[in-house]
Amino acid sequence: MISVAAGIAAAGFGLAALLFALLGLHLRLTWRGGRQGALLLCAVGASLVWALCALGFVLAPSSTLWLAAGMLDGVRVLAWLLFLFSLLELAGEELPPSIARVRQIAVGLVLLRVGVEALGAVGLQSGAFATQMLDVLTLASAVAGLVTIEQLYRNFPEQSRWGIKPLAIGLLGAFFFDIYVAADAFMFRRPDLTLWGVRGFVWALAMALVAVSAGRSRNWNFRISVSREVVFHSATLGVAGSFLLAVAAAGYWVRYFGGAWGGALQALLLFGGLLGCAVVLFSGSFRARLRVFLSKHFFSYRYDYRAEWLRFTTSLAVSGGSADLSAAVIGGLADLVESPGGVLWLRDRSDRYIPFGRLNHVQIDAAEPGDGDLVRFLQRKGWIVDLAQARSQPSLYEGFSPPAWIEQVPDAWLIVPLFVENELVGFVVLMTARTPVEVDWEVLDLLKTASRQAAVHLGRHQAAEALLEAQKFDAFNRMSAFVVHDLKNLVAQLQLMLRNAERHGDNPEFQRDMLDTVRHVQERMQGLMGQLQEKRSIDIRKPVALAELARRIADSKRHQRPVVGVTVDASPIAMAHPERIERVLGHLVQNALDATGDDGIVGMRVFEQAGMACVEVGDSGSGMSPQFVRERLFKPFQSTKDAGMGIGAYETLQYVTELGGRIEVKSEIGRGTTMHVWLPCLHDALAPEEAA
């Protein structure tokens, strides 16, 4: 190896080893557990060992170190492939068959390369054919890396691609350079030692972008804070083109006038230019800084209001369903202040504000009560809350206290309320801007105006859904007219039976029992008919012993399998309609039985906590996904049963809410479901007569 090429390789692999070591140490110190984090640590560690082995070959050349470096290179590529495929599991869905086949082929090729390298290292394989085979497998493993990155980016959820974008750009460039080096070695039947030495610089640059993605993607379980000043931000397409031209000119100048280092520096500068262009095209930070700079120094107002308003209204108009509209609202407000995304909170039927949509943010499992401090402050003031200013100058935000769930949004910056007239329908929590933005009167006025426009769109969408729901209930009411007709016929038949029994009965005692029973059925059916016709409740609320109710429901299901178990930790009493609450809880138990096999477990538990009575219904059945629980479980006319009408769960929620209670659902696919029905507990000192 000539001295200049050796110097280039030593500098490249030495720098790469140093960066791999620092990145691996930082990742290890900030690792909080998790499969993706462990695989990333393994990939960085394998890369560190590869760089050290390559550096050892440069300093003390030998065939053993050369073969060992090649084998470790294959192990390193395998570790990166396993990490990339593990990222697809974050989407929460099974891998499509096409991706599974790509994974098998890619991993197989790399394992074959490692095996051939290992055979060469122990002297079992040598010669020109073996060398050519290794060149082909090296080229194939680099191609496998490119295909894996393409599959990852294409199949990753669109709202979360912001986190993996730097990783994809960095590894795409590094694997592309590996293809170039391997193709050159295959065509000329010998490796270009200069290009081989530049690989250390290339992978060192790629690791900087991997670190940026690790800081953005918190679900990899790393607590990393990446400085925005250190990260290489992007620019406009014109700036990218000018940069490429400048890099190309510098590369040619160095090649012809730079002496022995010319070829190496040209390759390095070309790769750096391509990598910089990719970052420029796909990142928005530089463009954000440029817009802020131009607005400050070339225009009297920061915004082109006509263009901003047209863009905002267009994004709202073209959105389709609920998910698209929520993403459009978050994205429209975020773009006004150069924010990468945020979370949309909307009010639900129980007067709580829950996360309804997100953009470039992880899912949040929390709720803000309608009478909480944040909601009261937003309704009273109508302000846009700057959380950084609220922490530094609390006197400006008198009466405001950060909610507990704000810890789940570590990058929270602004809380933008959404008002329809004087009603708070929700709010948007925006993440910290890509570039420092001064929140002055102009920004606040634009955000307030845009938020009201967004609230109108959201309100109209909710009204359309309510209208559709009302239309479905109208169809259900028309169907109930037929039920009333059938009930009327049944009542007529019972009346005829009563008359015949009075005329022809032989046993007076039996007659009286039969008449009492039939008369009760007749009265009950007439009451049901009146309830359907007049839309009124035929019962009044009475004290209900929930423990006895649970035993009665379990006894009514004794002929079904599995047997319903009952555990009574307390004997609370709640005010409810006895027959209706029995029907509602019986529906939950029946759903649990339907979802559980004969060898499963279904149980009820009654207890009291903090002045509230609770009936717990649990099973070990098929379970439900979080998306189904959030979007479909309590929606009317949504059923997974072939003969189901989708009314039971909706009626259950409506009735429990009417009683002043709530329902909590915990479910996991394949592990079962647990539902807690919380009801206000009747005080022990209150007599049942007074309660009634």
User: Tell me, what CATH number does 362's domain have?
Assistant: 3.30.450.40
Query: Of 522, 537, 552, which residue constitutes the final position of a domain?
Result: 537
Residues 165 and 237 in one domain: no
- Please name the residues in contact with 585: beta carbons below 8 A apart, sequence gap of 6 or more: 549, 550, 553, 615, 617, 677
> Which of 207-221, 389-403, 524-538 is predicted with the least confidence, judged by mean pLDDT?
524-538
Taking Cα atoms as reference points, which of 204, 203, 154, 145 lies closest to residue 179? 145
DSSP state of 535: T
Domain for residue 185, yes or no? yes
Contact yes or no for 452/422 (Cβ under 8 A): no
Alpha carbon 27 to its chain's center: 23
- Please name the residues in contact with 564: beta carbons below 8 A apart, sequence gap of 6 or more: 553, 554, 557, 558, 589, 593, 602, 603, 604
Residues 176 and 272 in one domain: no
Residues 192 and 221 in one domain: yes
Task: Give one word for 338, left, alpha or beta, with left for phi > 0 and alpha for psi -120 to 50.
Answer: left
Q: How far apart are CA 505 and CA 510, in angstroms?
A: 8
List, in sequence order, the alpha helices (H) in 426-545.
441-504, 508-534
Contact yes or no for 158/168 (Cβ under 8 A): no
- The answer on pLDDT for 568 being more than 90 is yes
Query: Of 520, 537, 554, which residue constitutes the final position of a domain?
Result: 537
> Which of 441-450, 521-530, 631-640 is predicted with the least confidence, judged by mean pLDDT?
521-530
Taking Cα atoms as reference points, which of 413, 422, 494 lies closest to residue 452? 422
Cis peptide before 562 (omega within 30 of 0): yes
For residues 209-233, give the mean pLDDT. 57
User: Tell me, what CATH number does 596's domain have?
Assistant: 3.30.565.10
Residues 487 and 546 in one domain: no
DSSP state of 636: T
Domain for residue 289, yes or no? no
Cα distances from 472 to residues 350, 465, 469, 535, 652, in angstroms, run: 21, 11, 5, 17, 18
**pLDDT value for 84:** 84
**pLDDT value for 280:** 59
Top mean-pLDDT range of 267-271, 490-494, 650-654: 650-654
- Look up residue 7 and give its two tokens: 């110097």
Domain for residue 514, yes or no? yes
Residues 346 and 487 in one domain: yes
Residues 188 and 250 in one domain: no
- Look up residue 213 and give its two tokens: 């993605």
Contact yes or no for 308/446 (Cβ under 8 A): yes
Domain for residue 158, yes or no? yes
Residues 115 and 129 in one domain: yes
**pLDDT value for 477:** 64
User: pLDDT band for position 567 (50/70/90)?
Assistant: very high
Please state the φ and ψ torsions of residue 280, each to the nearest 5 degrees.
-60, -45
Residues 218 and 313 in one domain: no
For residues 74-85, give the mean pLDDT. 85
Q: How far apart are CA 428 and CA 328, in angstroms?
A: 12
- The answer on pLDDT for 305 being more than 80 is no
Residues 310 and 416 in one domain: yes
- By percentage, how much of the chain surpasses pLDDT 90? 13
Domain for residue 560, yes or no? yes
Query: Of 208, 227, 246, which residue constitutes the final position of a domain?
Result: 227
Residues 347 and 479 in one domain: yes
Residues 497 and 525 in one domain: yes
Q: Which domain holds residue 268?
A: 232-283
**pLDDT value for 561:** 84
- The answer on pLDDT for 692 being more than 50 is no
User: Tell me, what CATH number does 113's domain have?
Assistant: 1.20.1070
Please state the φ and ψ torsions of residue 26, each to the nearest 5 degrees.
-65, -40
- Please name the residues in contact with 105: beta carbons below 8 A apart, sequence gap of 6 or more: 144
Domain for residue 62, yes or no? yes
Please, what is the average pLDDT of the chain?
76
Contact yes or no for 637/647 (Cβ under 8 A): yes
Whether pTM > 0.85 for this model: the answer is: no
Q: How far apart are CA 468 and CA 636, in angstroms?
A: 11
pLDDT in tens, 23-44: 888 888 877 777 788 888 888 8
Domain for residue 9, yes or no? yes
Sign of the CA dihedral with 593 first, then 595, 601, and 605 last: negative
Domain for residue 290, yes or no? no
User: pLDDT band for position 233 (50/70/90)?
Assistant: very low
Structurally, the chain folds into a number of domains equal to 4
Residues 109 and 220 in one domain: yes
Cα distances from 212 to residues 164, 168, 277, 280, in angstroms, run: 9, 11, 17, 15
**pLDDT value for 135:** 73
